[in-house]
Amino acid sequence: MNRQLIVEGYLSDLGIKGFDLTSSEGQVEFLNKLQAAHIARHSFNSLAVVIGNELPLDLTSLYEKIVVKRRGGYCFEHNKLIFNVLEQLGFDVKLALARVVYNRDVDSPRTHRVTLVRINGVDYVVDGGFGHLGARLPVRLEHGVEQPQGKESFRIVIKESGEHCYQVLKDGDYFTLYTFDLGVYTESDCLVGHFFSHRHPTAAFVNNLVVSRKPEDSIYSLRNGEFHWIIADGTTVTRLTTALELHEKLTQVFELDVDVAISEFLFNKFVQDNS
């Protein structure tokens, strides 16, 4: 399947049409629409990892999995698809690999893929694959500048080492989700992080059922048997107790095309066995 057909199908699926990329303002507006629509429609999840499926990263396979089959995925899948769409549309894109640190001073491997997009001399971090704490809109690479996005706020600061810290406002303080640099990375570099993330026995995605989706006015998040529904007024936490409840969440809330048998397997492995 050629890239232009993938771009057209992807944008049509997101409901994005009639855009103008001839001005920097139009390009920024397009980026905002794309990231917000992507994370609202396509879930971030570890389903294919914990089931043990192969996770090819060629563009056709990603399009089939995420757009056609509605299976979602994680950063190496979501953000590669977005990268290729933007590149095909003529955007100035650069691949970056980040270390997920969750506000800790730890030596983490580069297991998170993001896209840097330069528009009129300004870089934007486009990330459609981080999960429920990720931004709905691209974040400008302007150090220390707070960037409110509805009820959330993000910023990027720089460390003495030169690493950039991608931060979200959490419980009144800025919390570093991941760090990244502006080095040169290739698709081959991504294969290492991708393999670790979905094959290494200690990797978080191998050992946990993780699913999230961020529509416009709420956040849905599932980790093993605990489901969170986050809205402006607060958070509702539900503990799942049956495979049917899990199946309903996966298919109705996260809009995943999942067989009942798969839901039963996931419940037995990640909910019942951990209760």
**Amino acid sitting at position 208:** N
Q: Is 75 exposed, middle or buried (0-12, 13-18, 19+ CB in 10 A)?
A: buried
Tokens of residue 30, six digits: 């397009």
DSSP for residue 157: E
Taking CA atoms, 85 is separated from 11, 27, 55, in Å, by 9, 13, 19
- CB atoms < 10 A from the CB of 87, how many? 17
Local structure of 171: helix, strand or coil: coil
- Which ranges of the chain would DSSP assign to H, the alpha helix? 3-14, 24-41, 47-51, 59-63, 75-88, 187-199, 204-207, 243-248, 260-266
Choosing from 78, 127, 132, 165, which is the catalytic residue?
127
Residue 112: active-site member: yes
- For residue 192, the tally of other CB atoms under 10 A from its CB is 13
Q: Please, what sign has the CA dihedral across residues 65, 68, 74, 75?
A: positive
Annotation marks residue 75 as catalytic: yes
190 labelled catalytic:
no
Q: Which of 38, 42, 78, 112 is catalytic?
A: 112
Q: Which of 75, 190, 194, 247 is catalytic?
A: 75
Q: Distance between CA atoms of 137 and 126, rounded to whole angstroms? A: 7
Strand arrangement, sheet containing 110-119: 139-140, 122-126, 110-119, 92-100, 173-180, 164-170, 152-158, 147-149
Q: Look at residues 219, 245, 241, 222 and name the one whose alpha carbon lies nearest to residue 230.
A: 219
Q: Annotated active-site positions, please?
A: 75, 112, 127
